[in-house]
Amino acid sequence: MTSDEAIALINRFYSSFQQRDHAGMIACYHPQVEFTDPVFQTLKGKQACAMWHMLAERATDIDITFDHVQAQGSSGQAHWEAQYTFSGSGRRVHNVIDAAFEFADGLIVKHRDRFDLWRWTRMAIGTSGVLLGWSPLVQNRVRQRAQSGLKKFIEQHPEYQG
């Protein structure tokens, strides 16, 4: 895969997200993809695809921007930002994310998103996020809710089971 092809793949992934086109996003992923971030932690294969489907489908007012897309050899990077209303609280969130990618067979095989979870909890949760969002207790509760929501989503979508 050339650097230009990898850059085009990353651009296609985020352009699909801007349009809330989960199928377009998933088409950029290798069947053996591994996704990692501070909330969902590590998701593999169909779980990672289900997460993007869920987020794209539920994000009624999301605004995605991305830039600094780069690629060299079998890896790439991008910076992206998401602004949306967090459904759990009705509060507005502006998440700032740096992504790293690895490619195989012309697709994304590893995707790691990095962002400040404490910053996110301050926006999404409010006062308790400001006071305790740094704590493992609050961060683990955020993770459990996200993973529980994903599990329910997968139960309703047989294409992600098995």
pLDDT by residue (tens digit) across 137-155?
Answer: 688 888 999 999 999 999 9
What pLDDT score was predicted for residue 131? 65
pLDDT at 141: 86
Reported as a pLDDT band with limits 50, 70 and 90, residue 88 is confident
pLDDT in tens, 94-148: 999 999 999 999 999 999 999 999 899 989 887 676 666 676 768 888 899 999 9
Cα–Cα distance between 108 and 26 in angstroms, integer?
10
Cα 162 from Cα 62, distance rounded (Å): 30
- Residue range 30-74, pLDDT digits in tens: 999 999 999 999 999 999 999 999 999 988 899 999 999 999 989
Helix (H) or strand (E) holding 14: helix 3-18
Q: How far, in Å, CA of 7 to CA of 64, rounded?
A: 17
